[in-house]
Structure 1
Amino acid sequence: MSNKYLLEIGVEEMPARFVKNTLEQMKNYTTKLLKNERIEFQEIKLNSTPRRLVLLIDGLAENQEDLKEVVKGPSKKIAFDKDGNPTKALEGFVRGQGASLDDVFLQEHNGEEYVYVNKVKEGKLVEDILKENMANMIKSISFPKSMKWGGKNLRFARPIRWILSMLNDKVVEFDLEGIVASNITRGHRFLGSSHIEIGNVDEYISKLKENYVIVDANTRKEKIKYGCEKLAREKGGNILQDEGLLDEITNIVEYPTPIIGRIKEEYLELPKEVVITPMKEHQRYFPVIDDKKRLLPYFITVRNGNEDHIDMVIKGNEKVIGARLEDAKFFFNEDKKEPLENCVESLKDIVFQEKLGTLYDKTIRIQKLAVKIGNYLEVGEETAKNIERAGYLSKADLVTKMVDEFTELQGVMGREYAKISGENEITSLAIYEQYLPRYAGDELPTTTAGAVLSIADKLDTIAGCFAIGIQPTGSQDPYGLRRQALGIINIILDKKLNLSLGELIDFALYIYVEENGLAFDYNQVKGDILEFFNGRIKNMFIDMGFRYDIVDAILATGIDDVFDMKLRADKLNTWLNKEELNDILQAFNRVKTLADKSETNEVKRDLLVEKEEIRLYETFNIVEEKVIASLNKKEYDRALDYMISLKEPIDSFFDNVMVMVEDEKIKHNRLGLVRKISDTMLMICDLSKIVNK
């Protein structure tokens, strides 16, 4: 029989941001449970609305599979007496396994015979296993924030109000701290019944739909998207696409009905983001734009209900967004009365981090660090001026009335107020671009000044936090250091910047000492930051499709130029397709193994006595020169080709020359030669890290 099990956890409105992870936890727990308990099933489906988390197991077996196992008992000499009769030890073993003496057989183990029995454990009813485990599954779910209610020990994102648990047409009852599972669910909070009896799993979806609940999230999402686009087209526009906002709205309504409202034309005179931010971030509205992406005086929102009294709902929403935009207009006009530069001094009153000073302190550090990075990159004079000016103004908008009310507009208002204050286009844009990228997949800085300022801002935070011992641990990363490190790496790769991470970290840490008098173990902190970056680089390169061993081979060189690492990884990835790769790797693994035993790469020509070592030495001298020339041109594949031309003389050397001889001078000279070859190879990559597939 193809059974279906349905579990619905009824809750107070669940925060949209918790839904995805919660459903994943439910699926992972259930999948593991079914596999561990030997229960066959076809599919696990998850769904949700703001008031319910839904788990459906389709194609569920009736019983566990029987467990067949061979159980080892006492040795033959203990199981039988000298006459071959069963002893009490054997009888006790057989009785304990629920078997008979006829089931016993002998089998050798470690040179001695032992008695065994075949034991069959009959599978339990799946219904009983579900009863025993579903409460534990619910308790196992963790949230970024959880709560307790009604004197219960149970913690959950929101209070659990009911549980529906059914196997086909039968209630699978269990008790979760006084909340007893049943076949009763609830419809829409205002439009549906609060007592809906489900007679069979198959009628669950339809009965809830009758009560204004669309359980399937994808169905709700498509309904929202289609309805919003239709309303926008009727006004000659399109919705401003935002997949994240669409997902969020999908998770905060059970019965979506899109509606369209209007805003005053005068608000369109405000900067575009000033209108969009209150709509999207505060009210969960879709802005409407024309074909040229200009804002139109409309917004689209989604009502959690039907079309009854829709005019009143539209007016209410228009009133709310109107008040928001009126505030924004007031703040904008007030902020414009003073040039942005005048706001910088006020940053002295805002603490960035207790041990790292104020936002003014951070501003000065960012400015100095950005200037150093600009000089390192040898940017032009005009760009250097823009970098320095943008650094000074970088955080000024944080004390404006607009950003105080709408924090999401940091950087955006800095750009707008800088333009109004007479700053040039590049300086103004760099102030905005310092925050890019804000999340995975976000846009990257388009200007050199913006890229440099963004790197400086992010690196200042990373260096400061590591210096005072605030480092990411597990899932804890309160200052978003992982995200900021990834941002720096993405900018470097996008702009093809040749930057030494080690030198950048030096710049940042020196400035902390100069400006803040910060005391810390310099070498330890720098090493920790480099290791932190290498971890992010490794993960990012693997996500790009590079093999882990290629990434390890590049990182092992100690190179800290991210863009150069990417070039090497690309070249090595292609180069490894060579047919003779296995022989090449064997040769260089032999080199690396012996090289690790030498403390120097010094070689004295007069101590070379065997023809094979003389030949290797002379061939290497020619190759080394070519390798270095190729490295200077970043022709890493060609450099590798030159190195593998050493394969034959290396093999001949190892086959015919004893390295570890009694004569210490000759031994160390030979080790030095091997070390010299290894060190040159490491200037490209560490081939000993490569795993031949």
Structure 2
Amino acid sequence: MTQDILLEIGLEEMPAKYVQASEIQLKEHVEAWLAEKGLAYEAVASFSTPRRLAVTVKAVAPSQADSEDEVRGPARKTAQDENGDWSRAAQGFVRGQGLTTDDIFFKELKGTEYAFVNKKTVGVATADLLKEWDKIILGLNFPVNMHWANHHTKYIRPIHWIVALYGDTVIPFSILDVTTGRTTRGHRFLGHEIDITSAATYETQLKEVFVIAQQAERRQLIADQIADLASVKNWNVPIDADLLEEVTNLVEYPTVLFGNYEENYLDLPADVLITIMREHQRYFPVMAHDGQLLPFFITVRNGNAEHLETVAKGNEKVLRARLSDGEFFYQEDQKITIAAALEKLKKITFHQKIGTMSDKIERVGLVATKLAGLFNFSASEIADVQRAAAIYKFDLVTNLVGEFPELQGEMGAKYALLQGENEVVATAIRESYMPTSSEGELPATKVGALLALADKLETLGAFFSVDMIPTGSNDPFALRRAMIGVVRILIDQRWELPFDGTVRDIITLEEAAGVKVMPIDETVLKFNQFLARRLRNLLANDDVRHDLIEAAVAGETNDLAQLFERAAALNKVSQADWFRPTVEALTRVMNLARKLDKTVTIDETLFENESEQALYREIKTVKAAFAAASSTEKLTVLKQLQQPIARFFENTLVMVDDEAIRTNRLAMLAELNNIVARFAKFDAIIVK
């Protein structure tokens, strides 16, 4: 008879940002354990609140299924002597399987007869296997850990109780000084301890003690209550997904309420108010339907609807103090000139191996100017780039950014406008931080995009030049995010960037500034390898086949927009009938082209047959066509090469004894390879 399983780990309040990931991890570990043990079941459900992680497993089989396996023993000539008597080897073999020689039969494998037995294994009872579940609990990994009391074991937070039930029976095991049972704890203030009857009643019983265990249900309750309140008040309340997720994991029993603040605070920039409410107080800002902020906020209480007015007043008092600080900082910041702020940056270290923040700004300015010339910016655009690059970090020493780091760039843009900078420069200051995540918003302006690109390239070049390259999951300076930002900006703006030369220029700037740099060639190689890994990851996210990713990334990388188009084009045609013979033909060309180790001018007078002349004509056509063709058009051109290449190899021996003819033929193939290899490394493509 099948039975359900319940496991609940009771903890002190976990950091909200780790709750969901921990719930998912627990579910995955349980599913992996069930698969490893071969236990049949219907479904696994997971739950989490700030104080608990839990799973239920529905309809688990009472035991592992019995199994019968063929076990191979010694060869027949070893198992029996010439009289057919069993040898010690045969007797030892069956004894080890718990059987007798009467159970032996012979089967031939690759011309040799071997002794076999059918071994029956009785499945272990589920109740006995479940005693191992302490390993599941202790096998979870967390970004942050702590230890408590005199225990050496570390966990995300101290474990206070464990509920472990198989059907209505407690699964017996202990972790540290906590023994499993059926008693769980309700809401910290509204609830009490309660004995769980079974996995089937888990959610219902927790609700009786003011705990909603299902994260999705809490999230929906919060969203619905906010929508109802906004409808009643005729408000517009944008729901920030990250904030909703965080608030969901801060409460066990959510109740939405609202509060207000003085209208004079609306004189502060909206970004300041929203940041204070959203990032520091976990409040949802309230707006009118035209998008203007209103002097109200919405928050979520971990409790019921009693005494909401008192709770609202407490939240208003806390917010009022934060807004007062923000107002003071904003007024004080306006007394600071940009020039004075830049002087302060000379005393702020960006990194001890790289220099001050002022040093970084100077280098970014040089990189930005060079890139502006490379991308054919106008004189006025270059002037804006240079001005933005010269001041774009000045807001780091302002009071508001010091108190609320999330406002860097935003306040720089606002303060720049207040001090007379033009709109283009101010916007570029704000956009210089974009994208702030791998999928974040990109700069919308050319000047902002170029400044963001220059900043990220200089950061990457600086850290790579001192050999501070991310390893494993360790990336304290967010260099992976910076590189993804570089890639996305270049693709979005369709800018072509010679990475090798740019990285060399940056390293030279670092060295001129007194930075002790690594050998340039070594640094450029590591930079390119790091770039290639990011490109592979981004292409994999686009569902491009692995070997096609390798082929595209090994091609030309200066134009990343084209690289992604090439990969997509290869992926699209990879199942076409013509693809395999074309890849095989181009691969043969590439393999032979590697045999030429010098530069040779092709001499048409050395051609000996029409297939040789025809292929050379096709090569010249391809070279001309590739200049302006799209990735799809280039593949069509390459498709047409397959027949001329095939005829060439049918009628022409490349590696002839005559050195001049051999070298001339290799040179022709090398010229074709030079064209094709910029598109993709076709010999990396797997065709079957």
TM over 0.5: yes
Q: Quote the offset at 1:151 in angstroms.
A: 1.3
State the partner residue of 1:47: 47
Residues 44/499 of structure 1: CA separation in 2 closer, same or farther (3 Å cut): same
Maintained 8 Å contact 2:494/2:559: no
Instruction: State the alpha-carbon separation in 2 of the partners of residues 219 and 404 from structure 1.
Output: 38
Does the CA-based 8 Å contact 1:387-1:449 persist in structure 2?
yes
Per-residue CA deviation, residues 404-449 of structure 1 (Å, 9 max, x unaligned), is 1111111111011101111111101111101111113321111111
Distance across 2 between alignment mates of 1:331 and 1:122:
74
Q: 1: CA distance between counterparts of 2:408 and 2:607?
A: 71
Report the residue type matching 1:432 in the other structure: R
How far apart are residue 81 of structure 1 and its match?
Answer: 4.2
Equivalent position SS for 2:4 = strand
Say yes or no: does 1:165 pair with 2:160: no
* More displaced stretch, 421-430 vs 664-673: 664-673
The DSSP-based 3-state class of the residue aligned with 1:268 is helix
Distance 2:388 2:398 in 1: 17
> What letter is aligned with 2:190?
L
After the TM superposition, which residues 440-479 of structure 1 pair with which residues of structure 2 at under 5 Å, given as runs? 440-479=438-477
- Compute the displacement of 1:36 (Å): 1.6
**Which of 676, 682, 686 is 1:687 aligned to?**
682
SS of equivalent to 2:679: coil
- RMSD of the alignment, in Å? 2.0
Distance in 2 separating the partners of 1:340 and 1:606: 67
Give the letter for the 2:588 counterpart.
R
C-alpha displacement at 1:207, in angstroms?
Answer: 1.4
Could you tell me how far apart the structure 1 residues matched to 2:671 and 2:176 are? 70
CA distance in 1, matches of 2:392, 2:184: 54
| SS at structure 2 position matched to 1:349 | coil
In the alignment, is the contact (CA less than 8 A) between 1:74 and 1:90 conserved in 2?
A: yes
Letter in 2 for 1:671: L
Q: Is the 8 A contact 1:600 1:675 kept in 2?
A: no
**Cα distance change, pair 325–594 in 1 and its aligned pair in 2 (3 A):** same
C-alpha contact 2:262 2:295 (8 A) present in aligned 1: yes
- Contact 1:80/1:86, CA 8 A, preserved across alignment: yes
- Compute the displacement of 1:650 (Å): 2.1
Partner of residue 493, structure 1: 491
Letter of the 2:180 counterpart: A
Shift of 1:654: 1.3
Whole-Å Cα distance in 2 between the matches of residues 436 and 609 of structure 1?
Answer: 56
1:123, distance to aligned residue in structure 2 (A)? 0.5
| Secondary structure of the structure 2 residue equivalent to 1:386 | helix
1:48 Cα offset (Å): 0.1
8 Å contact kept, 1:411–1:432: yes
Contact kept? 1:4, 1:167, Cα under 8 Å: yes
Work out which of the residue numbers 585, 588, 591 in structure 1 matches 2:589: 591
Structure 1 residues 54 and 146: alpha-carbon distance in aligned structure 2, compared to 1, 3 A threshold: same
The CA distance in 1 between the partners of 2:472 and 2:53, in whole Å, is: 27
In structure 1, distance between residues paired with 2:277 and 2:602:
76
Return the match for 2:235 from 213, 228, 237.
237
2:355 and 2:515 in contact (8 A); partners too:
no
Give the deviation of 1:677 after TM superposition: 2.1
* Equivalent residue for 1:670, pick from 662, 665, 669: 665
Contact kept? 2:616, 2:668, Cα under 8 Å: no
Residue 147 of structure 2: aligned partner: 148
Aligned partner of 2:177 in structure 1 is 178
Give yes or no for the alignment of 1:113 onto 2:109: no
2:30 is the alignment partner of 1:35 = no
More moved, 489-498 vs 660-669: 660-669
Moved more, 339-348 or 427-436: 339-348
Number of matched pairs: 688
Instruction: Give per-residue Cα distances to partners, 1:593-649, cap 9 Å, x unaligned.
Output: 21122223525537735314xx42x33443344333333324344444444444333
- Taking the aligned partners of 1:100 and 1:548, their CA distance within structure 2 comes to 51
Aligned equivalent of 1:655, options 643, 650, 663? 650
452-461 or 647-656: bigger deviation:
647-656
Alpha-carbon shift at residue 508 of structure 1 (Å): 2.1
| 1:374-385 alignment, distance < 5 Å | 374-385=372-383
- Paired letter, 1:3: Q
Whole-Å Cα distance in 1 between the matches of residues 126 and 575 of structure 2?
52
Please give the alpha-carbon distance, in whole angstroms, between the structure 1 residues aligned to 2:55 and 2:516: 53
| Preserved contact between residue 467 and residue 518 of structure 2 (Cα < 8 Å) | no
1:363 aligns with 2:358: no
Amino acid at match of 1:166: L
Distance, in Å, in 2 between the alignment partners of 1:621 and 1:587 is: 15
| Cα contact 1:619–1:646 (8 A) shared by 2 | no
Give me the whole-angstrom Cα distance separating, in 1, the residues matched to 2:323 and 2:567.
Answer: 50
Q: What SS is found at the alignment partner of 2:300? A: strand
For 1:451, the aligned partner's letter is: A
Instruction: Report what 2:335 is aligned to.
Output: 337
* Equivalent residue in structure 2 for 1:323, among 318, 321, 324: 321
Cα offset, 1:342, TM superposition: 2.1
Residues 234, 340 of structure 1: alpha-carbon distance in 2 compared, 3 angstrom cutoff? farther
SS of structure 2 residue aligned to 1:511: helix
The separation in 1 between residues aligned to 2:291 and 2:455, in whole angstroms, is 31
CA contact (8 A) 2:6 2:57 kept: yes
Deviation of the 1:187 alpha carbon = 0.5
Letter in 2 for 1:64: Q
Greater shift, 214-223 or 647-656, is seen at: 647-656
Aligned pairs for 1:183-194 within 5 A: 183-193=182-192
Relative to structure 1, the CA distance from residue 386 to residue 105 in structure 2 (aligned partners, 3 Å threshold; closer, same or farther) is same
AA at the equivalent of 2:427:
L
CA gap of 1:105–1:579, structure 2 versus 1, over 3 A, is: closer
Match of 2:312 in 1: 314
User: 1:584-623 counterparts in 2 under 5 A?
Assistant: 584-600=582-598, 602-605=600-603, 608=606, 610-612=608-610, 615-616=611-612, 618-623=613-618
Task: Select the residue among 382, 386, 389 that pairs with 1:388.
Answer: 386
Contact 2:412 2:426 in 1 (8 A): yes
Alpha-carbon distance between aligned partners in 2 of 1:629 and 1:653, rounded to the nearest angstrom:
21
Correspondence for 2:83: 83
Inter-CA distance 687–601: structure 2 relative to 1 (3 Å threshold): farther
Report the CA distance shift for 1:498/1:124 in structure 2 as closer, same or farther (over 3 A): same
Q: Distance in 1 between matches of 2:602 and 2:460?
A: 46
Q: How far apart are 1:502 and its partner, in Å?
A: 2.6
In 2 relative to 1, CA 604–250 (structure 1 residues): closer, same or farther, beyond 3 Å?
A: closer
Structure 1 contact 603–670 (Cα < 8 Å) conserved: no
- The equivalent position to 2:541 in structure 1, one of 540, 543, 562, is 543
For residues 215-260 of structure 1, the C-alpha deviation after alignment (integer angstroms, 9 at most, x for no partner) is: 1111111111111122223332122220011011111100001110
Q: Is the 8 A contact 2:562 2:631 kept in 1?
A: no
**Matching residue's letter, 1:399:** V
CA distance in 2, matches of 1:70, 1:684: 53
Instruction: Choose 627-636 or 670-679, whichever is displaced more.
Output: 627-636
Q: Matched residues, percent identical?
A: 37
Which residue does the alignment assign to 2:137?
Answer: 138
Does residue 1:424 correspond to 2:422, yes or no? yes
Gaps (5+ residues) in structure 1?
none
Amino acid at match of 1:303: R
What is the rounded CA distance, in whole Å, between the counterparts of 2:593 and 2:412 in structure 1?
56
1:601 and 1:676 in contact (8 A); partners too = no
Report the residue type matching 2:380 in the other structure.
E
Which residue pairs with 1:532 in the alignment?
530
Query: Residue type matched to 1:127 in 2?
Result: A
Deviates more, 1:4-13 or 1:641-650: 641-650
Unaligned runs of 5+ in 2: none
Give, as a single letter, the amino acid of the residue that structure 2 aligns with 1:93: F
User: Is this contact kept in 2: 1:623–1:643, CA < 8 A?
Assistant: no
Is 1:607–1:665's contact at 8 Å kept on the other side of the alignment? no
Tell me, in whole angstroms, the C-alpha distance in 1 between the residues paired with 2:100 and 2:570: 65
CA deviation string 1:365-406 (max 9, x = no partner): 112211111111111122111111111111110000111111
Q: Partners of 1:403 and 1:502 in 2: how far apart?
A: 36
Shift, 1:518, TM fit: 3.4
Shift of 1:535: 1.4
Matches of 2:46 and 2:631 in 1, distance apart? Answer: 49
- Kindly tell me: are residues 496 and 649 of structure 1, through their superposed partners in 2, closer, same or farther at Cα, counting changes over 3 Å? closer
**Matched residue SS, 2:680:** coil
Residue 98 of structure 2 is matched in structure 1 by 98
The SS at the match of 1:436 is coil
